Structure 1
Amino acid sequence: MLKRTMIVVLFFSLFLGAAPKEAAAGGSSWAVIDAETGRLLEGSNENVRLPIASLTKMWTALTFLESSDMSDKIKITPQAASAEGSSIYLQQGMTIDAESLLYGLMLRSGNDAAHALAEHAGGSLDGFVDLMNEKAMLYGLKDTVFTNPSGLHDDRHLSTAYETALMLKYAMENDKFRKIASTKNYRYEGDEQIYSWRNKHRMIHSEPTVIAGKTGFTKAAGRTLATYFEKDGKKVIVVTLNDGNDWNTHKFLANKVFSSHKLATVAKEGTYEILPGVEGELKQPIRLLLKKGEKAELQNVVRIPRGKSKLSTGTWTVSFDNVPLITSEILIKQ
């Protein structure tokens, strides 16, 4: 029998919106989120819109992976070869596979790689930027706007520390992105070119709890950094915007959250009595990263479909402060 308060409802949907905060010129911010649920665990100015520099490339990579094939061969145009900013030194007219460009994009932050991938997947740079923004809307990133695939400064090209952390969360759910972003070193050998790239995110090489991440810098944005940490089953993402001491900040914030939060079992696997004559079977336990005392404040909602089918699939949602954190399927028997 389920011990906590449970509400049984029929399937329904609710959408809420909020106006974005204005960008704070020269400001800084940070956010730590649960990498499993996207829940904000700690933050400062986490919803203020700021430049994110090359953290943009996390979304460039995911947009490409969800719209094109990594095995595609891409010919480097003059525009891509001469892209402004950081470069992996692609040569005009050369042909290289998209997979290698993605490694150059994520490990070395190549703006030329970003340009080449964008032209290929979007038909044009503007076409790809449209795809990036459409995907941001689809994923609920309401405070994020892209004007280019590299993160070069533009007054309109902004996001927040919280939504940038969500970018990495969503991207890491893509197995291809996860493999690329967590790679320490990559070597490409073409017919005429050989490239060897070492991941710029230095904590990937030195910290065993760091799985993946991305660095960024422009004069306008300052230093930006995103890092995916895992320790003892706990998974958190840290993002800092305009932090000159970002490496130390990330280690401090990750360790702080690992110390203050426990991976708690909210609901054990097994059979629960939902209503008289109605049972629900939870096949996997539900676990959440929680501070001391938060477990007692959780709300559990089971949604069951209409009808009298003997077997059907419902959902079990756990919320905190009326904000849904995680939803699992539950087998309904009646």
Structure 2
Amino acid sequence: MRQAIAIVLFLSVLLAAVPKEAASGSAWAVIDAETGRLLDGSNENLQLPIASLTKIWTALTFIESGTADGEIVISPAAASAEGSSIYLEQGTKMDSDALLYGLMLRSGNDAAYALAEHAGGSVDGFVDLMNKKAELYGLERTTFMNPSGLHDDRHLSTAYETALMLYFAMKNDEFSKIASAENFVYRKGDEVRSWRNKHRLIHTNDHVKAGKTGFTKAAGRTLATYFEKDGKKLIVITLNNGDDWNVHQQLANDTFHKYENVTVAKKGKYKILPGVDGELKRPIVLLLNEDEVERVSHVVYIPRNKDRKVKGTWTVSLDNELLITAEIDIRK
């Protein structure tokens, strides 16, 4: 009997020690923002709800859709969208670039639906574009059911793939400008609106360049942060973490400490083969830890044609995983 009581007490203590996030599923990932390489993580491939981190992909899908900039008429459905809002009124008009700022800085679900209807013809049509873009970018464990991140059992991604969303999006200059803004003021006629970025670290941490917040009851707190320090760039994602502000800074600090930018190929001329020379116009730099430097390998691909001057490809891999490619001028 005493043994049974002891076991019960032990299990009670053990369960009490498990963070609440772990009970419903939590995950995090840190990736190199230059290459997209996963540097560290926990449950990084576990499918979970991501809440308003969805809007990273909503913004990129809209920007890359080719939809012309201009005024968007706010529909009844957009104006009445559930959840966080920038308080758009039915029948009013707002410029698409302002809606993108409202989407990213204030996480406006009404802005998400207005943008989706405009670019996709309907919300469903836009969500289809989001999913096709996810497939094109190789996000195999990501499925969108709406442009805002409101809960749906099928609306899921992973910490790693959410990090990749921000990685791909930050390569777009327009997205990068919006996601990096601390504040935005919209003026048109008599209308003036001022929005402050909800991402606290953008205002308080000099190494934070961009990011996105998220929350639903089902997803918990979700957070995406883009860090840059001493030329090193990282993306940190947490899903269902109640201490995300502190966790992001700690993960970034730990990773900055462990990894250095290493020049794996210097700018200059190389002897590729007998009678074949190559020239790298820029050095190839990778974020590596001390143990990885010796495991880097290089391959140069040369087009098979008779031209004396051609463009080749210099590839760099780590443990046979391709990390980066660079153009090299080949002279035969």
Scaled to the shorter chain, the TM-score interval is over 0.9
C-alpha distance after superposition, 1:279-331 (max 9, x if no partner)? 11111000000000211101111111112211101101101121100000011
Q: Which residue of 2 aligns with 1:161?
A: 159
What secondary structure, in the 3-state scheme, does the structure 2 residue paired with 1:263 have?
A: strand
Q: Which residue of 1 aligns with 2:110?
A: 112
Q: Which residue of 2 aligns with 1:147?
A: 145
The amino acid of 1:39's aligned partner reads: R
The whole-number CA distance in structure 2 between the counterparts of 1:146 and 1:193 is 33
C-alpha distance after superposition, 1:46-94 (max 9, x if no partner)? 0111100000000000000001446321000000000011000000000
Q: Which residue of 2 aligns with 1:91?
A: 89
Does the 8 Å CA contact 1:70/1:99 hold for their aligned counterparts?
Answer: no
C-alpha distance after superposition, 1:20-40 (max 9, x if no partner)? xxxx98200000000000000
C-alpha distance after superposition, 1:117-147 (max 9, x if no partner)? 0000000000000000010011111111000
**Residues 1:192 and 1:90: Cα distance change in structure 2 (over 3 Å):** farther
Q: How many residues align?
A: 311
The amino acid of 2:166's aligned partner reads: L
How far 1:255 sits from its partner (Å)? 0.4
C-alpha distance after superposition, 1:228-276 (max 9, x if no partner)? 0000000000000000000000000000010000000000011111111
The whole-number CA distance in structure 2 between the counterparts of 1:114 and 1:189 is 20
Q: Which residue of 1 aligns with 2:235?
A: 237
Query: What value does the CA root-mean-square deviation take over the aligned residues?
Result: 1.1
Q: Which residue of 2 aligns with 1:20?
A: none
- Alignment identity in percent? 69
Q: Which residue of 1 aligns with 2:72?
A: 74
What secondary structure, in the 3-state scheme, does the structure 1 residue paired with 2:148 have?
A: coil
Q: Which residue of 1 aligns with 2:194?
A: 196
The amino acid of 2:175's aligned partner reads: F
The whole-number CA distance in structure 1 between the counterparts of 2:156 and 2:69 is 31
The whole-number CA distance in structure 2 between the counterparts of 1:111 and 1:87 is 5
| Higher helix residue share | 2
The whole-number CA distance in structure 1 between the counterparts of 2:213 and 2:99 is 17
How far 1:191 sits from its partner (Å)? 2.9
What secondary structure, in the 3-state scheme, does the structure 2 residue paired with 1:325 have?
A: strand
Q: Which residue of 2 aligns with 1:129?
A: 127
TM-score (norm 1): 0.91
Pair 1:332 & 2:300 matched: no
What secondary structure, in the 3-state scheme, does the structure 1 residue paired with 2:282 have?
A: coil
TM-score (norm 2): 0.92
The amino acid of 1:307's aligned partner reads: N
Listed as ranges, the gaps of 5+ residues in structure 1 are 1-23
The whole-number CA distance in structure 2 between the counterparts of 1:118 and 1:297 is 45
Q: Which residue of 1 aligns with 2:172?
A: 174
The whole-number CA distance in structure 2 between the counterparts of 1:90 and 1:70 is 21
The whole-number CA distance in structure 2 between the counterparts of 1:238 and 1:70 is 32
What secondary structure, in the 3-state scheme, does the structure 1 residue paired with 2:90 have?
A: coil
Larger relative contact order (C-alpha < 8 A, sep ≥ 6)? Answer: 1
Q: Which residue of 2 aligns with 1:30?
A: 28
Higher Cα radius of gyration: 2
Q: Which residue of 1 aligns with 2:19?
A: none
Pair 1:252 & 2:250 matched: yes
What secondary structure, in the 3-state scheme, does the structure 1 residue paired with 2:215 have?
A: strand
The whole-number CA distance in structure 1 between the counterparts of 2:260 and 2:124 is 44
What secondary structure, in the 3-state scheme, does the structure 1 residue paired with 2:24 have?
A: coil
The whole-number CA distance in structure 2 between the counterparts of 1:118 and 1:131 is 10
